[in-house]
């Protein structure tokens, strides 16, 4: 994931932050306060609701009978929630989260996914495709976008919150090339090299299967694995400087570095174009 400093920088440059330090604190909540990446865990159908709850505990309020209750602290919110659940009051009040808080949370996930796409699909995920990569990140988070349709921003209650996020994404796309450069720089500071990622490796394996018309188990260093797990294992081993032997049916490949895979991939894709 991008560093918190990069998350915060982009969040503030987009003008999302209204309350003091919201951009930084939302990063902390999503990554550490509840569970890492709360809100977008694909294996947890309630991950989004957990994120909303965590954000509400930190920043939320309650709207009842035409006014806010002005709950100031986490302790006050927790006390109100216990009482409201017991009395049933929770069913006829509105639980409020500030617009900038929710926007910052969605932005956090978009930037995380954008980095994953760049790292996994480089060099296909090139700078020239930066605006499309942001669209791809949005599509990856379609489950979040769908649930945002049920929320309303305070500044424009006549529209659903996903429309407000669409406006934010439009602003991101206007700065797409700059953001791409910042993510690449951030990755390189963490030791990442612009070589083949898991997505490229997966494409290589599927290309072999398609081209050779092979049906069989993939083994990586004698360990049988499905395609996605095999790609992840290959990437992990080569990143550590360990060579891999990949067997797909009668077809065997020996790769010593991620550069070997990238070279093989570029050769195959170039041949396919002709």
Q: Please report, in tens digits, the pLDDT of each residue of the chain (274 residues total).
A: 889 899 999 999 999 877 778 999 999 998 887 777 777 877 788 889 999 999 999 999 999 988 999 999 999 999 999 999 999 998 888 999 999 999 999 999 999 999 999 999 988 899 999 999 999 999 999 999 999 999 999 888 899 999 999 999 999 999 999 999 999 999 999 888 888 889 999 888 888 888 877 776 799 999 999 998 999 999 999 988 999 999 988 888 899 998 888 888 887 776 665 5
pLDDT at 271: 61
- Residue recorded with tokens 């998350």: 7
CB 3 within 8 A of CB 186: yes
pLDDT at 203: 87
Residues 266, 177 within the same domain? no
| Radius of gyration for the chain, computed over Cα atoms and rounded to the nearest angstrom | 23
- Domain hosting residue 41, numbered range: 4-60+97-189
**Any domain includes 78:** no
**Any domain includes 16:** yes
Q: Which residues lie across from 151 on neighbouring strands?
A: none
- Give the SS3 label for residue 62: strand
CA atoms of 84 and 86, how far apart (whole Å): 5
Query: What pTM did the predictor assign?
Result: 0.88
64 φ/ψ angles, rounded to the nearest 5 degrees: -145, 130
pLDDT at 193: 81
Residues 175, 217 within the same domain? no
pLDDT at 37: 77
**Domain boundary pick from 189, 207, 232:** 189
pLDDT at 272: 62
**Chain mean position to CA 122:** 16
Residues 176, 222 within the same domain? no
pLDDT at 196: 84
Residues 181, 265 within the same domain? no
pLDDT at 216: 67
**Domain boundary pick from 152, 172, 189:** 189
Residues 108, 45 within the same domain? yes
């Amino acid at each position: 994931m991008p560093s918190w400093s990069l998350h915060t920088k982009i969040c503030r440059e987009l003008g999302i932050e209204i309350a003091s330090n919201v951009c930084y604190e939302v990063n902390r909540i999503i990554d550490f306060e509840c569970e890492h990446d709360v809100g977008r865990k694909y294996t947890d159908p309630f991950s989004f609701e957990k994120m909303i709850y965590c954000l509400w505990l930190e920043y939320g309020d309650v709207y009842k009978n035409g006014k806010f209750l002005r709950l100031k602290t986490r302790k006050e919110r927790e006390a109100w929630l216990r009482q409201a659940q017991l009395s049933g009051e929770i069913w006829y009040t509105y639980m409020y989260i500030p617009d900038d808080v929710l926007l910052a949370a969605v932005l956090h996930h978009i930037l995380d996914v954008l980095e994953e796409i760049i790292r996994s699909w480089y060099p296909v995920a090139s700078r020239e495709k930066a605006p499309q990569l942001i669209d791809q990140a949005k599509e990856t988070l379609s489950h979040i976008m769908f649930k945002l349709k049920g929320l309303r921003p305070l500044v424009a209650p006549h529209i659903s919150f996903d429309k407000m996020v669409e406006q934010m994404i439009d602003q991101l796309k206007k700065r797409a090339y700059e953001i791409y450069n910042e993510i690449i720089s951030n990755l390189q500071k963490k030791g990442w090299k612009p070589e083949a990622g898991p997505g490229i490796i997966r494409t290589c394996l599927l290309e072999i299967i398609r081209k050779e018309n092979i049906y069989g188990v993939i083994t990586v260093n004698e360990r049988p694995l499905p395609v996605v797990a095999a790609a992840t294992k290959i990437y992990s081993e080569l990143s550590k400087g360990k060579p891999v032997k990949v067997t797909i049916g009668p077809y065997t490949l020996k790769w010593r570095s991620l550069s070997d895979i990238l070279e093989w991939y570029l050769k195959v894709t170039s041949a396919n174009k002709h």
